[in-house]
Structure 1
Amino acid sequence: MNYFILSQDDRISNAVEPIGLSQVIKKELLTVERMEELEDIDRQFPVLNKNDNDYIDYIAKPIALLADPVKQLVEKYEPRLPFKPIILMEQAKLKQVLYWLIIPPQVACLSAQTEFHLDGTLKKLVIDEALAAPYTIFKIEGIKEDYLIVNIELAESILRRAFRGIRLLKVQTEGTWSETFSHE
């Protein structure tokens, strides 16, 4: 099966940027086991003031956020996946937009063919298909990078819709090579 890294399209220069999100929501809380600790956090965050913020469908940084239509699609594939609502506020325009914090499972699916740099970052990512097969959307356990991975069925479904700001980068599995696919 093919897998893809879901990423934000960096060609969109005026993409909305949340402020203070990573100070309140620490990445170590983004696990199913620690999900209850997110209940007490503030769910409203301001955005960086720009002339024309583009509320794209996937925000990768500082923490992965899905726009409501993308969340609804992901739920069709993974109905039990935990999500938490986040409101992005553009105070100057009195605008509020709903996004969803996604809490995917951490999957130990690295192939023995995966290669690392001396500092522990990935040099070459290779996924073991057998270990990843039960999951539609997940993060990879054992790497420093914060990649959100989707299987080919979900990737194709994303590409069939008019989502903005999403890129899909094919991940190598044993015997395949990476390619980049974009969707604006």
Structure 2
Amino acid sequence: MRYFQITEDERILNAAKPMGITDIPKEMLTRERVHELDDWLLQFQVREQPGGGRFVDFIERPIPLYSEPFKRHLEKCSKQLHVQPVVLTDLKHLKQESYWLVVPPVVHCVSEQSEFRKDGTLQQLVIQEEQIRHPFFKVGGLLEDVLVVDLAMAESILRRGLTGMRFKRLSSVAKGKEMTSG
């Protein structure tokens, strides 16, 4: 199987950039603790941009946020998701959009062939296919958040015309046999 890392599409210069989300403790963004956000009002302003920010379907930073159409599609393909509603507001342009904080399953699938920098951050990810049981997941055991989809999910997302993301093919190891990242 082929796997792809989902990253923010940096070519969209006016994509909405939420502010204040870093106030959510990262440890609450886990399957075990996400329910603690039920009582929080998750409403954030977006950074002011000329002409207003574009509300794309995927916002990667500071935490991954998904539009309603993207979230609905993820729920159809992956049943083990935990979601929390988030509202993004552009006060200057009087725009407001609903997004979703999605907590995907965590899969510990980092291969020994992965490469890391001296500070422990990822340089080159190689995943172990035999560990993977989900079409959409977060790679466990890394300092940074890495979201991954399988080929079928990536193709399905692209067919729906969702915006704001790019896909980077990952190298993988399948039962001792390395698969290259074309």
Determine if the TM-score, normalized by the shorter chain, exceeds 0.5: yes
Q: C-alpha offsets along residues 49-81 of structure 1, whole Å, 9 cap, x if unaligned?
A: 112311111000000001111111111101341
Q: Distance in 2 between the 1:103 and 1:17 partners?
A: 20
Gaps of 5+ in 1: 180-184
User: 1:21-65 deviations in whole A, cap 9, x for unaligned?
Assistant: 111x22211110011211122211111111231111100000000
Q: Identify the residue that residue 179 of structure 2 maps to in structure 1.
A: 176
TM-score normalised by structure 2 residue count: 0.92
**2:78 matched to which residue of 1?**
78
Q: RMSD of the alignment, in Å?
A: 1.2
Hey, what's the Cα distance between the residues in 2 that align with 1:152 and 1:26?
32
Cα distance in 2 for partners of 1:100, 1:146 equals 17
In 2, the alpha carbon distance for the partners of 1:162 and 1:110 equals 30
Percent sequence identity over aligned pairs: 42
In structure 2, C-alpha distance between the alignment counterparts of 1:122 and 1:91, rounded to whole Å: 37
Q: Deviations over 1:102-146 (max 9, x none)?
A: 1012211111211222211122211000001x1111111111121
CA distance in 2 between counterparts of 1:41 and 1:35 reads 11
List alignment gaps of at least 5 residues for structure 2: none
Matched length: 177
Aligned to 1:17: 17
User: Hey, which bits of structure 1, 4+ residues long, moved more than 6 A?
Assistant: none
2:8 aligned partner, one-letter code: Q
User: Structure 1 residue 177: deviation in Å?
Assistant: 2.6
